[in-house]
Amino acid sequence: MKTDKCCGGCTHFKYETTDGSGWCEVGDTKTYCGFGTDCNDFEDEGTIRRHHTAVLIQANRYRTDQNVPSIYRMPNPRELGRAIDYAIRLMKGEQ
């Protein structure tokens, strides 16, 4: 299953340079994100599951942090919605 990720849409792509190189926290690897291209690092089910789990953990840390402002970043709302949908499908046994 391939998701429709592209540059700027993933909260786990860090240290992006002007040429699109950066670090994927989910894959724990250096990767390249060409402008407007889909991310190829999210094709296998295990990686997708780890990504959505990381987004939900990040959202919960942001939500429960007592610091003002929060020391955690809020996940991209689109990513959070996809992670919630994925978790619901898993709980329903549809995955």
Tokens of 30: 């250096």
Give the pLDDT of residue 25. 66
Q: What is the pLDDT of residue 61?
A: 92
Contacts 24+ apart (CB under 8 A), 72-79: 73/11, 75/11, 76/9, 76/10, 76/11, 78/9, 79/9, 79/10, 79/11, 79/55
Q: Where are the domains of the chain?
A: 13-92
SS3 82: helix
Taking only the tens of pLDDT, the chain with its 95 residues reads 444 555 555 666 777 776 677 777 666 667 766 544 445 545 567 778 888 898 899 999 999 999 888 888 888 888 888 889 989 988 998 76
